[in-house]
Amino acid sequence: MPSELRFPRSDSGQSTSERSVAGLRLARWCASNGWPVHPLAPGRKTPTANCRDCAVPGHTHIDCPCLQAGRWCHGFHAATLDYSRIEDWWTSSLPLGVGVACGPADLVVIDIDTHASDLPSRDRLLPGIPIGEAVDLRGMRTGFHSLAVLAALRGEASPADDGSTLRVRTPSGGMHVWYRATDGRQWQCSSGSGKKRALAWQVDIRAHGGYIVAPGTSTRAGTYKPLGQVRQPAPLPAWVAQELQRTGHLPAPHIPAPRPVPPRARQAVLAAGGGQDKTARLLNALLSEVMACAQVVEGAGFTEKLNRAAYSMGGLVAAGHLSESSAQEALRGVARAARPGQEQRSAQIIRSGMAAGAQRPLHLGDSR
């Protein structure tokens, strides 16, 4: 965690300008970690709209003029790593909170709730795991309990007790346990009360197609407070990944796999020194994510994936692992293949992302 970032204890006593400055610092810190950010409504944990059309039935992010003009709207669909855009958004007159788009950030966050509600039927406590009538459930009241039972059945410690990763206490007494997906699979969101997919009762999953409130964000209910000293998400534990797969948290099989990186772009990477194992793996993963956008015309997160790739490659260039010209050529190649006809827009994203990444040299040992 950068020394200039200090998570506030509470929202009380802060002026609007002080909250705006705190929000800007927090948004910058999240972006420096490669987590695309979007504004939350002042004092709330929900995104804020930016146009009248959002109140019109049928209006979606696909045709929203706000997004096309670089304004926030539609929550995580507007999330960005662009430092200049972040500066513009969080220096407005509104004390905006900070949301993080989980999918583009490769985050899987376990959201443990403590809502006061009746126990569901036994088959909904731990979906797919039968719980006999002889089992006494009187002590099970929150998501902490159901998650602990699931972990115990697998012979593991509960993620709520995982001190190796970023954990955040929510104002309601729940907890967000942040993990980082490392295998390229696009884990899907779920609700602990959902019937289609769920990990455990009162345990939500925030991943692709969702967002999470950034630690340090204050709402009227209180502040999202990080626990302990760890400020980075650890890799998603294998046993949790297995449970997520078992409970249907992967996309449908018909969704196409990422397309291979074009030969010219791959050659540019190799010529730049990307043949080194760690660097090559990182570059191939980043470029393949951008190429995967060619399969979907809209809603694939092309801007953020290209921005993320450019940011990381800017860091590699600054660390001496790549030449700037070869990195730009590789990025332009995959961007052209994924979004033909948008070369000018792609070039702007590449320039902005690489410039931001150059401020944080990415050494081989730092690659995520």
* DSSP code per residue over 286-308: HHHHHHHGGG-SSSS-HHHHHHH
Per-residue model confidence as pLDDT tens digits over 260-311? 555 555 555 555 444 456 667 777 777 877 877 776 555 567 787 888 888 8
Read off φ and ψ for residue 61, nearest 5 degrees. Answer: -65, -20
Q: Enumerate residues 6+ apart whose C-beta is below 8 A from 22.
A: 8, 14, 216, 218
Please name every residue paired with 111 in a beta bridge, in sequence order, or none if there are none: 176, 204
Give the CA angle between residues 275, 279, 284 to the nearest 5°. Answer: 85
Domain ranges across the chain: 107-202+226-246, 263-366
Say if CB 199 and CB 244 are below 8 A apart: yes
Exposure string of 244-254, with b = 16+ CB inside 10 Å and e = fewer, is beebbbbeeee
Query: How much is the pLDDT for 55?
Result: 67
Buried b (16+ CB within 10 A) or exposed e, 266-305: bbbbeebebeeeebeebbbbbbbbbbbbbeeeeebbbbbb
Place of tokens 């979606």: 60
| Residue among 28, 193, 219, 17 at smallest CA distance from 115 | 193
Query: 33: closest CA among 81, 92, 75?
Result: 81
Please state, in angstroms and rounded to a whole number, the distance separating the CA atoms of residues 348 and 345.
Answer: 5
pLDDT score, position 6: 55
Residue type, 307: N
Question: Residue 120's pLDDT is what?
Answer: 86
**What span, in angstroms and rounded, lies between the C-alpha atoms of 283 and 277?**
10
Alpha carbon 261 to its chain centroid, in Å, reads 24
Residues of the chain with pLDDT under 70: 1-19, 55, 57, 252-279, 295-300, 364-368
Within 33-158, residue ranges assigned H as helices are 65-68, 83-90, 122-125, 143-153
Closest to 221 (Cα-Cα) out of 264, 170, 175: 170
| Pairwise CA distance, residues 116 & 170, whole Å | 15
Residues 6+ positions from 23 with CB-CB distance below 8 Å: 90, 95, 96, 97, 98, 217
